[in-house]
Structure 1
Amino acid sequence: MTTAKTKQKILQTFLDLLSEHDYEDVSLPLIADKAKVKLSEMRSAFGSKLDLVAAFAESVDKAVLDERDEDMHDQPPRDRLFDVLMSRIDALEANKDAVRALHRAARKDPSLALEFNRLEMRSQKWMLIAAGIDISGLKAGIVAQGLSVAFARVVRVWLDEDDEGMPRTMARLDRELDNGTQFMKRLNGIEGIAKGMRSFLKKASSGRRRRRGRGEDDADHETGYSGEEPVGA
């Protein structure tokens, strides 16, 4: 069984290789060779490069969750989310070139972009939890998808920014969260309309059932049929 230390060494080797090579040129045998592990160990640790990307995303998630600022709990949700997403950028910083390679690969391969998006949505659900934003059901998926797209736009700005203060990155995140706030207002409005429609349809359906029931009773009374066999039959 592959140890946690070996898994971490393989993952870091993968990220180091991405800083120098395109994603498609980084093969599993190459990773195993550079990490100085057997292919059997490689197979036991990670079954594919996508598994390695998922492990990287999970490591970033954990870093953000561990560094969550508890003093932000009394701040507005938007400010808490801004803080969490900037923490995510900070957690990505050590592997910025690897992130650049992953973004480049996603732009070239739509199917790979979909796989990366799936992983990013899972991460963004945790970012919402870290920010204390509780969303469930279908709405959670919609919001996580929107946040994934918004964060990808922020990352693109960050990848091209050299200023350590990240003014352009923060400005873009501000703009994306402003757009997200407007989107949430519209989504909540649509959700309210949908709930009203469901309630209306439920009441209408219940009313039709009651009317059908009364109509059948009236018909039985008029024909003398009660649903039971006549006495003496």
Structure 2
Amino acid sequence: MPAKKDPRDTLIAAAMELAAERSWHSVTLIDISQKAGLSLADIYPLFKNKSDILRAFVRKMDMRVLADLDSADFDQPRHDRLMDVIMARFDALAPYRPALKSILHDFGDVGLADGARAAKTGFASMRWMLEAAGFETGGIQGSLRVAGMGAIYARSFRQWLDDESPDYGPTMALLDKSLNQAGGWDSRLGKGLARVGTLRSKFAQRCPKTATDHGEAVAD
């Protein structure tokens, strides 16, 4: 007996098929439910709205890319590994390119209330892509890496959407150039933060001594 298909996957697939056929703005939850062969009552406990379905699609792509990682490549330079991770993501997205063009044309049809959640999902996705390439994403530098990767990915994504070359050469060239530039900024930032950390350590070491000297002077 075949395994029962996850209704979430069924709804995501239905939504993407409809987006490829017409304007994403015109697609309703009723359309998606009918395409998926499910009722609105089936959708209700799974997704709040269309934006929720899109966020689930993004997470599904994250899982697909992470599941295909080859541990043999973990020793690659981080730049090369990040290139591979992002290009693998574009390969995973390739079957949905018509749908993604429709969704992007309507800016995801995201309302104000969903904008923050959509941004949070996007940043979480970029954080996982960076982690998969061996980059640390904690602290100030890590947060800036995630934000920078989001900007680079958005620019490369737009290039990829219209890239009809067999190997996505123009997209790879843009991604490589952007990552090289960001790598230079990241290196300078790391050195600057290291200097700040050194100064803070020196200051912290001097503070107890200063406080002790002040206490002795008061006692005298």
Which TM-score applies when normalising by structure 1?
0.84
Q: Name the residue aligned to 1:183.
A: 185
More relative contact order in 1 or in 2 (CA 8 Å, sep 6+)? 2
Greater radius of gyration (CA) = 1
Q: Name the residue aligned to 1:101.
A: 102
Q: State the distance in 2 between where 1:51 and 1:203 align.
A: 50
- How far the C-alpha of 1:71 sits from its partner, in A, is 2.6
Residues 8-51 of structure 1: CA deviation (Å, up to 9, x unaligned): 11110111111123333222222112222111101112112222
Q: Is the 8 A contact 2:23 2:106 kept in 1?
A: yes
Matches within 5 A, 1:1-233: 5-106=6-107, 111=112, 114-218=116-220
The 10-residue stretch of structure 1 (194-203 or 172-181) with the greater mean CA deviation from structure 2: 194-203
The 10-residue stretch of structure 1 (14-23 or 53-62) with the greater mean CA deviation from structure 2: 14-23
Please, what is the CA RMSD of the aligned residues?
Answer: 2.2
Between Structure 1 and Structure 2, how many residues are aligned? 216
- How far the C-alpha of 1:66 sits from its partner, in A, is 1.4
Q: Is the 8 A contact 1:117 1:148 kept in 2?
A: no
Q: Is the 8 A contact 2:83 2:176 kept in 1?
A: yes
Residues 194-225 of structure 1: CA deviation (Å, up to 9, x unaligned): 2123224323432331222112221xxxxxxx
The 10-residue stretch of structure 1 (39-48 or 19-28) with the greater mean CA deviation from structure 2: 19-28
The 10-residue stretch of structure 1 (129-138 or 62-71) with the greater mean CA deviation from structure 2: 129-138
Q: Which runs of 5+ in 2 are unaligned?
A: none
Q: Is the 8 A contact 2:47 2:53 kept in 1?
A: yes
Q: Which one-letter code corresponds to 2:140 in the other structure?
A: L
Q: 1:42 to 1:109 in 2, by over 3 A?
A: closer
Q: Name the residue aligned to 1:225.
A: none
Q: Name the residue aligned to 1:227.
A: none
Q: State the distance in 2 between where 1:200 and 1:102 align.
A: 53
Q: 1:4 to 1:106 in 2, by over 3 A?
A: same
The 10-residue stretch of structure 1 (94-103 or 6-15) with the greater mean CA deviation from structure 2: 94-103
Q: Which one-letter code corresponds to 1:34 in the other structure?
A: K
Q: Is the 8 A contact 1:64 1:84 kept in 2?
A: yes
The 10-residue stretch of structure 1 (155-164 or 135-144) with the greater mean CA deviation from structure 2: 135-144
Q: State the distance in 1 between where 2:170 and 2:111 align.
A: 27
- How far the C-alpha of 1:137 sits from its partner, in A, is 2.6
The 10-residue stretch of structure 1 (161-170 or 192-201) with the greater mean CA deviation from structure 2: 192-201
- How far the C-alpha of 1:109 sits from its partner, in A, is 6.5
Q: Which one-letter code corresponds to 1:123 in the other structure?
A: S
Residues 132-178 of structure 1: CA deviation (Å, up to 9, x unaligned): 22332333222111101101100110111111211101101111111
Residues 61-94 of structure 1: CA deviation (Å, up to 9, x unaligned): 1111111132322211111111111101101111
Which TM-score applies when normalising by structure 2?
0.88
The SS at the match of 1:135 is: coil
- How far the C-alpha of 1:179 sits from its partner, in A, is 1.3
Q: Which runs of 5+ in 1 are unaligned?
A: 219-233
Q: 1:64 to 1:212 in 2, by over 3 A?
A: same
The SS at the match of 1:164 is: coil
Q: Which one-letter code corresponds to 1:30 in the other structure?
A: D
